[in-house]
Amino acid sequence: MNLRFYLLRRIALIIPTLIGLSILTFSIARLVPGDPVGLAAGPQATEEIKEALRREFGFDQPLPIQYVTYMTGLFRGDWGESLYTRRDVLGDLRTFWPATLELTTVAVIIATLLGVPAGVISAMYRNRMPDHVARVLSLFFVSFPAFWLAMIFQTWFGRDLGMFPINKRLPVLVAPPATTTGLFLIDSLIQLDFETFLVSLKHIFIPSLVLSFSAFASITRITRASMVEALEKDFVRMERAIGIPYRVIIFKYVLRNAFIATITVISLNFGWLMAGAILIETIFDWPGLGLYAVHASLSLDFQPIMGIAILYGIVFSIVNILTDIVYGILDPRIRYG
Amino acid sequence: MLMADLLNIEDLHLEFHTYDGVAKVLAGVDLRMQRGDVLGLVGETGCGKSMTALSVPRLIPMPPGKITQGRVTFAGEDILSKSESEMETFRASHLGMIFQDPVTNLNPLFTIREQLVDSVLYQQARGQKVPGRWKGFMPSVRQLRAEAHERAVELMRLTGIPDGDKRIFEYPHQFSGGMRQRVLIAMALAGDPDLLIADEPTTALDVTIQAQILRLIRSLVKQLGLTVLLITHNLGVVARSCERVAVMYSGRVVEESPVRELFKNPKHPYTRGLINAVPQKDVSRGGLIGIPGMIPNLIDPPAGCRFHPRCEQVMDVCRRQVPGATPVGAEHKASCFLYPEDA
């Protein structure tokens, strides 16, 4: 029942989760066939050069020792450096990660704002026209490949209508707002720079809209299903029988019952979208973590792979904790303990 | 019969369209209630008593349900021709209803206060707009809601919930079953309804709690002059709580009479069977007595009187014709050919 104690415990539990995750990622990244050093040093490299690189990155040590070295560095804030660029991984994540976070967050917000009302309408008019429209639309959005829709939207809204820019977070000539969070929308608001805020909003709109489509579909479907289920509950009939207007019953009493399932799907989608942002980031030239991650895994660039895995692990854990807190707010029967 | 009827159900026919065919759930229900009546509606599971009750607030799901014939009037107003928004106003101003299971009929995610205050506000508003809670910054709205809160606590006192002023902030799961049923009664009474429909209000409760709830309903009838339609399959409940009783069998009211008269002098063979089937303390009588046969199939019901396949006194005419209600005593009517209309 004590929320503070519960939160502390949940946050402490992130650590064993991350250790498990790091062991798994570490093993996978180091045990796959292929020689990262050979890839990094290039085909012309002599055996001595490779050997020097290996020693420098500690690849000559036994695996358990490598792991311990890596983890102690991690907890001290040293996330290692890239084999290729020789850049600090933590610094890279700080540079690229906010762009992805911003894109994903806006996408989830759009998907929720569109998906929940669509699901509610679907449930209210179930098996009638508005329901069919919402169902066909969500099927459409979940089936069409996002990269194809992305290009279509670029062509329509960017080129033909000229309403939205087609790539990047800001125009080349606009300076990014002073970095506080790395999220341009929030940073520009902190600086009270509404012009930059609007420009970056315009930039983020189309990519996050496209990214939101698959989430929109699943949020609509789960909202519809759980609304339909909640509408069958006895208390709905009771509330109607004593004269509470149907509108109030739907939006106040039933929606909260249905929202518990929806919250689960929203938080799952947050994770999926973050992982799936890569395609959208590529098409819209969005300087996010997606490209960085793909490049790192293709070249077996060990430290960035680990860094990204740890970062995503932390994000997932935090999203899970937030979801559990929202459950508790929505449903008084859920106890913390 | 000088007083105008509060509720008048005339020749109500209700069908349900199912995959197996059309179920004729109600086949000509006649029921009248005056203001101040406490009428018990009894019958087996599936005889249509709940559907009759739900036809008054018009909460029968349609489709699949369909009213094919008949009229329902409330204080002279035709209910079946009202629009859905008129029905919302009608339910808020005139009806209160409680159901069987107090656990599922309260919304688990909202405090008792939220649910009771809303019942008070919407029932007193009688279809007018109610300002939302978020407008609480306005003094008039705050005043309105404070008054509704007072009324809610008062209702909890009236329905016998101790410490209402504190417990109102709790959630349904913190209440026992009997207490929840009291909360539901409080919600139903929030707007001083003209008619309280109680659909098996004690079936899901422990026997001791049943007695308490029945006592509560009886005392509310006395205090507030409530008109109550009490639906139950339990003849004991009827005997203790009602003045009049209507017995339903397979979609029709087969007998209607004052309670004492019915138990002393049951006329319809089905009613006799029901009363005989009540277990007695005297075990020497030897086991339970039932009515032979099964409740009829509603999709393909027996022709004529639907009770004829199970009736010990069946006659030829029973297989061909549906009997009408015939007076068999003072305020006592039965639908059976044993009592010819000219008798």
pLDDT at B2: 46
Torsion of CA B113, B124, B202, B73, to 10 degrees: -160
Query: Is the model's pLDDT at A220 over the cut of 90?
Result: yes
* Interface contact A246, partner B, CB < 8 A: yes
The confidence score (pLDDT) of residue A58 equals 81
- Take residue A67 and report the two structure tokens written for it: 């792991």
Instruction: Report the complex ipTM.
Output: 0.86
Under an 8 A CB cutoff, do A243 and B123 touch? yes
Chain A residues within an 8 Å CB radius of B109? 253, 256-257, 330-332
**Would you say B91 and B131 are in contact if contact means Cβ atoms under 8 Å apart?**
no
Highest-pLDDT range among A140-149, A177-186, A219-228, B258-267? A219-228
Query: pLDDT tens digit string along B186-206?
Result: 999 988 888 999 998 888 888
Q: Which residue of B has its CA nearest to A251?
A: B132
Determine contact: B211 vs chain A, CB below 8 A.
no
- pLDDT of B282: 65
Question: Best interface-test mutation with A: which of B59, B87, B105, B184 has the largest number of A CBs within 10 A?
Answer: B105
Q: Please judge whether A256 and B118 are an interchain contact, meaning their C-beta atoms are less than 8 angstroms apart.
A: no
HEC readout, chain B: CCCCCCEEEEEEEEEEEECCEEEEEEEEEEEEECCCCEEEEECCCCCCHHHHHHCCCCCCCCCCEEEEEEEEEECCEECCCCCHHHHHHHHHHHEEEECCCCCCCCCCCCCHHHHHHHHHHHHHHCCCCCCCHHHHHCHHHHHHHHHHHHHHHHHHHHCCCCCHHHHCCCCHHHCCHHHHHHHHHHHHHCCCCCEEEEECCCCCCCHHHHHHHHHHHHHHHHHHCCCEEEEECCHHHHHHHCCEEEEEECCEEEEEEEHHHHHHCCCCHHHHHHHHHCCCCCHHHCCCCCCCCCCCCCCCCCCCCCCHHHCCCCCHHHHHCCCCCEEEECCEEECCCCCCCCC
Q: Among A124, A126, A236, A238, which would you mutate to test the B interface (most chain B Cβ atoms within 10 Å of its Cβ)? A: A238
User: How many angstroms separate the CA atoms of B239 and B242, rounded?
Assistant: 6
Determine whether the interchain pair A235/B190 forms a contact, defined as Cβ–Cβ distance below 8 Å: no
Does A233 reach chain B within 8 Å, measured CB to CB? yes
pLDDT of residue A20: 92
Q: What is the mean pLDDT of residues A23-49?
A: 81
* pTM of the predicted model as reported, rounded to 2 decimal places: 0.82
Q: What is the pLDDT of residue B1?
A: 44
CB A22 within 8 A of CB A309: yes
Copy the structure tokens of residue A251.
């939006």
Per-residue pLDDT of chain B in tens (343 residues, 90 and over written 9)? 445 788 899 889 998 888 888 888 888 888 888 888 899 999 888 888 889 989 898 888 887 888 888 889 888 888 888 888 888 888 988 899 999 888 899 999 999 999 999 999 888 887 777 777 777 778 888 888 888 999 999 999 999 898 888 999 999 999 998 899 999 999 999 888 889 999 988 888 888 888 889 899 989 888 888 899 999 988 888 888 888 999 998 888 889 999 888 888 888 888 888 888 877 776 565 667 778 777 888 888 888 888 888 888 888 888 888 888 888 888 888 888 888 765 4
Better-scored residue on pLDDT, A239 or A194: A239
Task: List, for residues A76-124, the tens digit of each pLDDT value.
Answer: 888 888 888 888 889 889 888 898 999 999 999 999 999 999 999 999 8
Quote the pLDDT of residue A139: 87
Which residues, 6+ apart, have CB-to-CB distance to A146 below 8 Å? A210, A211, A213, A214, A276, A279, A280
A190-216 tens-digit pLDDT: 888 888 888 888 888 889 999 998 899
Burial of B35 (0-12, 13-18, 19+ CB in 10 A): middle
Task: Give, in degrees to the nearest 5, the angle at Cα A192 between A189 and A196.
Answer: 70
pLDDT for the residue numbered B324 = 83
